[in-house]
C-alpha cells in the first residue's frame, strides 16, 4: 500500500493529525536522562540516554498519534553511537505501530541521492528494514534530478517524502521569498507535479511538503497550489504557532496535514502550567491538550 494510504489509515485510526517530533536536545532532557549532558559520561552513554528518552516518548505516543518524527541532528551529534540509537528509536516506534518520518533534510545529486534514499527508506537487507523510515524530509535546492531517486524509493518501498517548501524559521524568507513567483511558490508547484505519479487510493500523494505553521497566511495559498499534497506543518507550540494558525493547511474533514510539536510535548515539564508534574505526565497532558486544541480548531466531532 502506498505511503499516502498507509498514513491516511493511521490518521483515521487515531482521529487527530498530531505528529510528535523527537528532538532530544541534551540540555533539556529530564534529570533521569542527564547522562546525555554529563561531562563524565562517554559518548556511548550520552547517546544511550537520548535513545532511552525517545523510546519512552514513543511509548507515550503509541496509539495516541499516527506518527513520530525523529530529528537526525540530535542523534548525529553523538556520531556512530548516535546512529545506533537512531536505529533503536526508529525500530521501537515501528514496533509500537507508529509511522516514522525521519527528519533528515537530505538532498544531493543523482547516485548520491540514490544512496541516501536506499539507506533511509529501503534498507540494504531484511534486518536493516527494521529501522528504515516510512518517510523522510528532503531539501529541493539541487533541483528535480536530485528528487527523482527519492521518488523511485517511494515506489519501491511504499515510502514517502516531505519536500521543504516554506520553513518555520524567522529568516526562511531570505531565499524562499526570492523572485516572482516567490521561490517557495515555484517549489510548491513542482512538488504538486512530482507527486502526480505517487497518488494513493485516498486521493493524496506520497510526496508531501513541509510548510511552517508560523506562516498562517500562506498556508491556505499553498494548500490550493498543492491540492493533493500531504503537508507537514512544523512550528506549533515552542515555535509560536497556535491551533488557529494551522487550519488553512487542511482539506475538508481535517484531512491532508500533520501538525508537529516537539519541544512543546517532550519538555512540557519545564512549562509553568505543568509545574510539579512528573515529566511523563507533563508530556502526556501536553499531547492531550494539543489534540484537543487542534480537533476543536478543525471542528472535528
Nearest to 26 by CA among 3, 7, 49: 49
Q: Please tell me whether residue 199 adopts helix, strand or coil conformation.
A: strand
Nearest to 19 by CA among 298, 291, 295, 297: 291
Binding range to a copy of itself, per CB under 8 A, among 59-67, 161-169, 220-228, 293-301: 161-169
Sign of CA dihedral 226, 301, 293, 267: negative
The residue among 16 and 137 lying less far from a copy of itself, judged by its C-beta, is 137
The residue among 11 and 50 lying less far from a copy of itself, judged by its C-beta, is 50
Known catalytic membership, residue 280: no
Nearest to 98 by CA among 73, 66, 71: 66
List 35, 164, 192, 246, residue binding a copy of itself (CB under 8 A)? 164
What is the CA angle 267-270-274, rounded to 5? Answer: 100
Say whether residue 87 binds a copy of itself (CB under 8 A): yes
DSSP state for residue 25 in the 8-state scheme = -
The residue among 270 and 278 lying less far from a copy of itself, judged by its C-beta, is 270
Separation of alpha carbons 201 and 176, rounded Å: 32
> Least distance to a copy of itself from the beta carbon of 12, Å?
31
> Least distance to a copy of itself from the beta carbon of 72, Å?
8
> Least distance to a copy of itself from the beta carbon of 251, Å?
26
Pairing of strands 160-166, 207-211: parallel
List 12, 109, 201, 244, residue binding a copy of itself (CB under 8 A)? 109
Q: Which of residues 265-294 bind a copy of itself (CB under 8 A)?
A: none
- Assign residue 229 a region (left: φ > 0; alpha: ψ between -120 and 50; beta: otherwise): beta
Say whether residue 201 binds a copy of itself (CB under 8 A): no
Q: Please tell me whether residue 232 adopts helix, strand or coil conformation.
A: strand
Number of residues that bind a copy of itself (CB under 8 A): 63
DSSP state for residue 121 in the 8-state scheme = I
Q: Which of residues 119-158 bind a copy of itself (CB under 8 A)?
A: 119-120, 124-125, 127-128, 131, 139-146
- Among 105, 156, 270, 291, the active-site one is 105
Separation of alpha carbons 52 and 59, rounded Å: 11
**Catalytic residue ranges:** 105
Site of interaction with a copy of itself (CB under 8 A): 23, 25, 42-43, 46, 71, 73-74, 76-80, 82-84, 86-87, 105-113, 115-116, 118-120, 124-125, 127-128, 131, 139-146, 164, 167-176, 178-180, 183, 186-187, 190
Amino acid at each position: 500500500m502506498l505511503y499516502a494510504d498507509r498514513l491516511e489509515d493511521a490518521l483515521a485510526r487515531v482521529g487527530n493529525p498530531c505528529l510528535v517530533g523527537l528532538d532530544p536536545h541534551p540540555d533539556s532532557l529530564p534529570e533521569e536522562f542527564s547522562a546525555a549532558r554529563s561531562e563524565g559520561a562517554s559518548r556511548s552513554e550520552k547517546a544511550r540516554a537520548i535513545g532511552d528518552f525517545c523510546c519512552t516518548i514513543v511509548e507515550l505516543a503509541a496509539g495516541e498519534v499516527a506518527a513520530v518524527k525523529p530529528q537526525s541532528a540530535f542523534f548525529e551529534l553523538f556520531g556512530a553511537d548516535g546512529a545506533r540509537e537512531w536505529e533503536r528509536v526508529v525500530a521501537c516506534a515501528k514496533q509500537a505501530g507508529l509511522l516514522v518520518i525521519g527528519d533528515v533534510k537530505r538532498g544531493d545529486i543523482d547516485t548520491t541521492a540514490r544512496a541516501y534514499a536506499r539507506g533511509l527508506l529501503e534498507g540494504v537487507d531484511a534486518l536493516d528494514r527494521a529501522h528504515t523510515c516510512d518517510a523522510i524530509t528532503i531539501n529541493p535546492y539541487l533541483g528535480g534530478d536530485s528528487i527523482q531517486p527519492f521518488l523511485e524509493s517511494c515506489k519501491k518501498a511504499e515510502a514517502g517524502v516531505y519536500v521543504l517548501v516554506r520553513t518555520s524559521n524567522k529568516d526562511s524568507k531570505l531565499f524562499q521569498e526570492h523572485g516572482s513567483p516567490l521561490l517557495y511558490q515555484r517549489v510548491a508547484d513542482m512538488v504538486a507535479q512530482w507527486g502526480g505519479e505517487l497518488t494513493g487510493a485516498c486521493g493524496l500523494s506520497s510526496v508531501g511538503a513541509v510548510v511552517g505553521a508560523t506562516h498562517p497566511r500562506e498556508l491556505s495559498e499553498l494548500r490550493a497550489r498543492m491540492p493533493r499534497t500531504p503537508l507537514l506543518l512544523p512550528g506549533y507550540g515552542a515555535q509560536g504557532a497556535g491551533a488557529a494558525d494551522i487550519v488553512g493547511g487542511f482539506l475538508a474533514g481535517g484531512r491532508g496535514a500533520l501538525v508537529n510539536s516537539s519541544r512543546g510535548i517532550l519538555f512540557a515539564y519545564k512549562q509553568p502550567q505543568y509545574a510539579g508534574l512528573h515529566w511523563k505526565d507533563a508530556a502526556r497532558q501536553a499531547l492531550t491538550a494539543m489534540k484537543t486544541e487542534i480537533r476543536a480548531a478543525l471542528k472535528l466531532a
